[in-house]
Amino acid sequence: MVERTPFLNILTHLILGAGLVLLLLPLWIVFVASTHDFRTVNTVPMPLWPGSHMVENYVFTWQQSQFGPKMLNSLIMAIGVTLGKIIIASLSAYSIVYFRYRLRMVLFWLIFITLMLPLEVRIVPTYAVAANALRPFQEIINVTRISDLADLLFGIRIVLPEWQLLNSYTGLILPLIATATGTFLYRQFFLTVPEELLEAAKMDGSGPLRFFWDILLPLSKANMAALGTIMFVYSWNQYLWPLLVVTDPSYGTAVMQLQRIVPGPLFGEPPRWHIAMAGTLMVMLPPLLVVVFMQRWFVRGLISQDK
């Protein structure tokens, strides 16, 4: 039973308050650091109250780091990945839940197992595919000796053209789209949709695609918002993959750029922490805004699957 005494109330609030401070303190320091000039930010101890150079620091950072085009790239990538994930996840879950075919459960578990294979694990083969998207097919042709057979029969060798995705939005987006989390989330949601809705739609003459579009998708709005929010933050924060696939600075993302403005002794740069911190806050802002605006939907999508 939950006890309610004034003492316990105060204690719980104190613990919660301490947690809040613990969480917010680093952010506060980042903010404070971004409002001082070069000298103050490097004094020990650093002041814990904002200084007067905020506007100047932020304007300088924005211009120096080319955040305009970089943020646009990040936005294109994040939106692309998010939309792609929602489309792939909803379609694959639809197939797994609503259609009866052989290997259905095997396929589901195959998808599910990839939850345990983050991008970092498969990054080398993924890079190889991004460098030439048709290479797996070429490999299949080579291994199965279809090419030799064709050579024998028709005197032609099958050589697929190279199709590389490096330095393109496609390369940034496509390899990140496959999503076990999303498929799982959608599967769980589809399982809660009463079967009678499907039957009613059948009686109303609606085919599978129509049912998906007219009934399942509108019903999964909250689900979609939750998935979209998580995935937007996830893809906005991608660092390793863009770093690998993009060498042309015009496709660089904001998070990649952030690394360049962090000073390092490696380059013999002076520790311009005030600029780095201002940049950090700017890069944090878009995902933060998305979470704030989507919060209501987001929570609903994660908590209540029914009604």
Interface with another protein (CB under 8 A): 194, 196-197, 199-206, 210, 214-215, 218-219, 221, 307
From the list 251, 237, 243, 242, the residue with the least C-alpha distance to 284 is: 237
Q: Is the peptide bond before 45 cis (omega within 30 degrees of 0)?
A: yes
DSSP secondary-structure letter at 52?
S
* Chain Cα centroid distance, residue 55: 30
Q: If you count them, how many residues does the chain have? A: 307
Q: How many Å from the N-terminal Cα to the C-terminal Cα in the chain?
A: 29
Nearest distance, CB of residue 191 and another protein, angstroms: 16
The structure tokens listed for 180 are 């076990």
Nearest distance, CB of residue 195 and another protein, angstroms: 9
Nearest distance, CB of residue 218 and another protein, angstroms: 5
From the list 292, 233, 246, the residue with the least C-alpha distance to 69 is: 246
Q: Which is nearer to another protein, 217 or 281 (CB)?
A: 217
The structure tokens listed for 210 are 């129509």
Distant-in-sequence, close-in-space partners of 122: CB < 8 Å, separation ≥ 6:
none
Q: Which is nearer to another protein, 105 or 128 (CB)?
A: 105
Q: Which is nearer to another protein, 20 or 197 (CB)?
A: 197
Q: Which is nearer to another protein, 131 or 215 (CB)?
A: 215
Nearest distance, CB of residue 294 and another protein, angstroms: 19
Nearest distance, CB of residue 103 and another protein, angstroms: 20
Q: Which is nearer to another protein, 120 or 199 (CB)?
A: 199
d(CA 67, CA 256): 11
Q: Which is nearer to another protein, 172 or 201 (CB)?
A: 201
Nearest distance, CB of residue 228 and another protein, angstroms: 18
Count CB-CB contacts under 10 A for residue 41. Answer: 23
Nearest distance, CB of residue 297 and another protein, angstroms: 14
Count CB-CB contacts under 10 A for residue 235. Answer: 25
Specify burial of residue 92 (Cβ count, 10 A radius: 0-12, 13-18, 19+). buried
Query: 3-class SS at 292?
Result: helix
d(CA 147, CA 136): 14
From the list 49, 10, 48, 26, the residue with the least C-alpha distance to 277 is: 26
Q: Which is nearer to another protein, 98 or 112 (CB)?
A: 98
Nearest distance, CB of residue 210 and another protein, angstroms: 6
Q: Which is nearer to another protein, 37 or 199 (CB)?
A: 199
